Homo-oligomer: A and B are copies of this chain.
């Protein structure tokens, strides 16, 4: 064997047979280990400690107002301890077995991933567990839009879309109260779960199925992934850095397009009440110096006052009574570069004409007796359009999105909900509703996206989603963080938007924003004070979209128009936002081309700084801005950690003071001056200096 052959042999040995991205090494005593190429072991199998388990059981989903209580019972969990293996050039064929139970597993390096695992038919069993190796100190990120923790390690994360809850923390009074109606949520509840995670051991994992799953990171020496029913393909990929890993993931799952240019020109003010009120709010805003780029009128289709309060009328067409002349006003506003945005969701109120039309045609999701499944959305009785029914899907896209909104002149809309598909629903395509529950948000995103693309309005129009799942990144044009409480709690207040954005960004969906001032109000227990509004707005100013919300009880909350003083402050913030535009466009270009999220965790750019891996409430906006929003009330100063940048120091945007990382600093942070730092060597120093003087 000459040297070259030896080298080739080593190459094959080290890098796998014929370019496989993993190596499979047997130890002769029933053990084997799978190594991701150039990486650490990912799977260690022994008879005593099998890596795959099969079993049976049942999951019960108890839903109330879109909140799910999930009770899971495991009847059996059997480790497939023995195996036989063969291999070919494209991979390995494992037969895992225990007694007479056999499961075929195919290991490959498909679809650009170093390791893919396909689990064969599990027969009469209905659940699978896979164990991966883990280190005690390993950190885990991702899981979709995870609101409570940045580092997911030490806990379990059920993967099931639903309301994310109000309070989301058993220790808070708000959660206690809302839990009386099963609406409190918990650390893992989210509109946008995703069975994807990243490890500080430089790999990511992704499950392509949509079934109920649990990502269990609570064990010191292993991770366990539970998947109900037949799993989809499991994907593993590696890269040297997190940015590269996210690029690979988004290359695979899809990347978001750029936002329309106009969205960075100022605020989108969220208002309600009718044409006159809309125009008054716009006047008021302009009079008070706000840069306005849009007005979002969520009640464009009408509203109803009922027992529960003031509710939108879920009948998605222009309500001429409430918004007389809107069609013409829209044209006039567009001339003034003010864009009008609407609201829609995939449900129709039984009281509307669209419902009657759709029901006749059988367009709704059905119940067990084949009638329209009417759901109670906390007082609004509505049917859910069946996105698996091609005719229904087309009708909703063409009639409601295209005709009633886009062609009407809307420049965008909130595309709300889609998490509520009941597990006992009957779908047009006869598939199990349980397996479609997590997919629904993706179908909803797809419908909206197709409408935009088919009218060639991509890049001009934007719709924003809160719900999501694997695949959302391919269709969404913008996300928003859903409903925060109008308070400063970590679990559901301002703070929660940060891990949410970071983990969702890691999961491949990197352009998002949030309701300025939060949403969920529950007077007198939970009302928005001025400080919350301003702290929220000053943080939003350093992001891609600046949109206000009155909250669900507008009269109870402080609003940007509540006083001239507040409006002045808002005006300044909209200037800051607009001044940042060119920088923002650079950031978003990067997101669009590489998949790296607009808001990044510190460790993305500073991977050698171990502290960064547990810094939850700070982030990088692009490469040049480090932002540490003030997320607690009654603070005048704020502590910030500044990592060591090899080529620059960190400049505090308001004072110009310069700091060399790594260091902890405490900065003055009165309302209006959120802790923002820029890199001294940034090409955008002029922009930042201008902002610093505003």
Contact assessment for B76 and A74 in the assembled complex, using a CB-CB cutoff below 8 Å:
no
CB distance from A97 to the nearest CB of B (A): 9
Residue A11 CB within 8 A of the other chain? no
Inter-chain contact B171/A180, CB cutoff 8 Å? yes
**Which residues of chain B have C-beta atoms less than 8 A from A77's C-beta?**
55, 74-78
**Chain A interface residue bracket vs B:** 20 to 34
**19 intermolecular pairs with C-beta atoms under 8 Å apart:** A53-B76, A55-B77, A73-B219, A74-B74, A74-B77, A75-B77, A76-B77, A76-B78, A77-B77, A77-B78, A78-B78, A78-B79, A81-B99, A98-B98, A99-B99, A170-B179, A171-B179, A171-B180, A176-B176
A78 to B176 CA separation, bound complex (whole angstroms): 39
Complexed CA–CA distance, A650 and B98 (Å): 64
CB contact list, A62-104 vs B, under 8 A = 73-79, 81, 98-99
- Complex CA gap A465/B74 in Å reads 38
Given contacts A77-B77, A78-B98, 15 further A-B contacts (CB under 8 A): A53-B76, A55-B77, A73-B218, A73-B219, A74-B74, A75-B77, A76-B77, A76-B79, A77-B78, A78-B79, A98-B98, A98-B99, A99-B99, A170-B179, A173-B176
Nearest Cβ on chain B to A29's Cβ, whole angstroms: 15
Which residues from chain B contact A173 at a C-beta distance below 8 Å?
176
* Chain B residue at smallest Cβ distance from A53: B76
CA distance A180 to B173 in the complex (A): 10
Residues of chain B within 8 A of A180, CB atoms compared:
171
How far is it, in angstroms, between the C-alpha of A679 and the C-alpha of B79 when the chains are bound?
A: 61
| Complex Cα–Cα for A180 and B55 (A) | 37
Which parts of A41-60 form the interface with B (CB within 8 Å)? Answer: 53, 55
> What residues of B have a CB within 8 angstroms of the CB of A75 in the complex?
77
Interface 1/0 per residue, A252-285 and B, CB below 8 Å = 0000000000000000000000000000000000
Chain B residues with Cβ below 8 Å from A171 are 179-180
In the complex, chain A residues 217-250 whose Cβ is within 8 Å of any chain B Cβ: 218-219
A180 to B218, CA, bound (A): 22
Each complex incorporates copies of this chain amounting to: 2
User: Most chain-B CB neighbours within 10 Å: which of A55, A74, A75?
Assistant: A75
Residues of B close to A81: CB separation below 8 A = 99
Instruction: Across the interface, name the chain B residue whose C-beta is closest to A55.
Output: B77
Best-surrounded residue of A76, A176, A180 (most CB of chain B within 10 A) = A76
Q: Closest residue to A124 on the B side, CB-wise?
A: B48
Residue-wise interface mask of A (171-207) relative to B, using a CB-CB cutoff of 8 A (1 in contact, 0 not): 1010010011000000000000000000000000000
Measured between alpha carbons, how far is A179 from B172 in the docked complex, in Å?
Answer: 10
Contacting residues, chain B, for A218 (C-beta < 8 A): 73
Inside 8 A of A79's CB, which chain B residues have their CB? Answer: 76, 78
Complex Cα distance, B180 from A53, in Å, reads 37
Question: In the assembled complex, which residues on chain B have CB atoms less than 8 Å from the CB atom of A53?
Answer: 76
Min CB distance, A187 to chain B, in Å?
15
**0/1 per residue, A399-420, Cβ < 8 Å to B?**
0000000000000000000000
Rank and list the top 7 A-B pairs by shortest CB-CB distance, nearest first: A176-B176, A99-B99, A77-B77, A78-B78, A76-B79, A76-B77, A171-B180
Residues in chain B near residue A179, CB distance under 8 A: 170-171
| Chain B proximity of A327: nearest CB distance (Å) | 50
List chain B residues, Cβ under 8 A from A76.
Answer: 53, 77-79
- Residues in B with CB closer than 8 Å to A78 are 76-79, 98
Cα–Cα distance between A277 and B263 once the two chains are bound (Å): 78
Residues of B within 8 A of A74 (CB): 74, 77
Report A131 CB to chain B, min CB distance, Å.
9
A177 to B583, CA, bound (A): 48
Cα–Cα, bound, A171→B178 (Å): 10
A55 to B176, CA, bound (A): 37
Cβ-closest chain B residue relative to A71? B218
Q: Which of A514-545 contact B (CB under 8 A)?
A: none
Q: Mark A156-171, 1 if CB is under 8 A from B, else 0.
A: 0000000000000011
Bound Cα distance A78, B173 (Å)? 42
When chains A and B are docked, how far (Å) is the Cα of A179 from the Cα of B170? Answer: 8
Report the minimum CB–CB distance from A218 to chain B (whole Å): 8
Contacting residues, chain B, for A99 (C-beta < 8 A): 81, 98-99
Query: How far does the Cβ of A494 sit from chain B's closest Cβ, in whole Å?
Result: 23
A219 and B73 CA atoms in complex are apart in Å by: 10
- How far in angstroms is the closest Cβ of chain B from A554? 29
Enumerate A534-566 residues with CB–CB distance to B below 8 Å.
none
User: How far is B55's CA from A55's CA once the two chains are assembled, in angstroms?
Assistant: 13
Q: Considering the chains assembled together, what is the distance between the CA atoms of A75 and B173 in angstroms? A: 36
Q: Which residues of B contact A219 (CB under 8 A)?
A: 73
For residue A250, give the distance in angstroms from its CB to the closest CB of chain B. 34
CA distance A244 to B171 in the complex (A): 47
Q: How far is the CA of A611 from the CA of B369 in the complex (A)?
A: 33
Q: How far is the CB of A241 from chain B (nearest CB, A)?
A: 33
Shortest Cβ gap from A672 to chain B (Å):
35
A223 to chain B, nearest CB (A): 13
Q: How far is the CA of A173 from the CA of B177 in the complex (A)?
A: 8
Instruction: Closest B residue to A60 by CB, please name it.
Output: B218
CB distance from A67 to the nearest CB of B (A): 14
Report the separation of the CA atoms of residues A171 and B175 in the bound assembly, to the nearest whole angstrom: 11
Q: How far is the CA of A81 from the CA of B173 in the complex (A)?
A: 49
Bound together, the chains give a CA A79 to CA B57 distance in angstroms of 13
